[in-house]
Amino acid sequence: MRLFVEGVKKSYVAAGIAIVKIADHLKQLQDVEKSIRNALGVLTSTLRSTATLFAPMIAGVTLGITKLISNVLATIDWKLIDEETANSLFGVKFSIINVPPEIFVLVIGIYIIQLVFLLTRFANGIDEGDDKIQYMYSLGKALPTAIAFFSIVTIFSMIMFQGMSPV
């Protein structure tokens, strides 16, 4: 702006040249901003995809495997394993604590909800800044999708891995 003011003081031709230079500079700034937004768009879309699809899918499959392992451990007769064998296998006195898989579903479900809140906040902060309304809108879209996908994958994987169980 100083360049523009100085140009107006000298002549109208100098002011016109100053305006053209300012416009070129603003155009370059817009191009830089656009390229930064494109580069950050890849990051934010990855964060959003992780929150709504990948994390719930991995968590659901993990819970199915947990159910399978729980069923396998339930079929083992631990009284047949003598203390010397247990010590050589595990290094310490070993006892099994049977935690129901439903507890793991609850814990992982809470984790997924927290993950959606955090990753949506980060992605929205990068894209929109500190816009609370846009954050709530993004969260309103992401949270039901993530919970539904997590539920479907968890049910499907538990059914699928149930067929592999010896019980």
pLDDT per residue as tens digits for the range 103-121: 999 999 999 999 999 999 9
| DSSP state string for the chain | -HHHHHHHHH-HHHHHHHHHHHHHHHHHHHHHHHHHHHHHHHHHHHHHHIIIIIHHHHHHHHHHHHHHHHHHHHHS-GGGS-HHHHHHHHSS--------HHHHHHHHHHHHHHHHHHHHHHHHHHHHSS-HHHHHHHHHHHHHHHHHHHHHHHHHHHHHHHTTS--
pLDDT at 128: 86
pLDDT at 13 over 90: no
pLDDT at 7: 63
Domain that holds residue 79: 39-162
Categorize the per-residue pLDDT at 16 as very low, low, confident or very high, splitting at 50, 70 and 90: confident
Q: How many CB atoms lie within 10 A of CB 37?
A: 12
83 located within any domain: yes
pLDDT at 167 over 60: no
Digit-coded pLDDT (tens) for 114-152: 999 999 999 999 888 888 999 999 999 999 999 999 999
118 located within any domain: yes
27 located within any domain: no
158 located within any domain: yes
Digit-coded pLDDT (tens) for 22-71: 889 899 999 998 888 888 888 899 999 999 999 999 999 999 998 888 88
pLDDT at 6: 66
167 located within any domain: no
- Whether the full predicted model's pTM is greater than 0.85, yes or no, is no
pLDDT at 21: 82
Report the candidate in 148, 120, 114 with the shortest Cα–Cα distance to residue 134.
120
94 located within any domain: yes
Total domains present in the chain: 1
69 located within any domain: yes
50 located within any domain: yes
pLDDT at 89 over 70: no
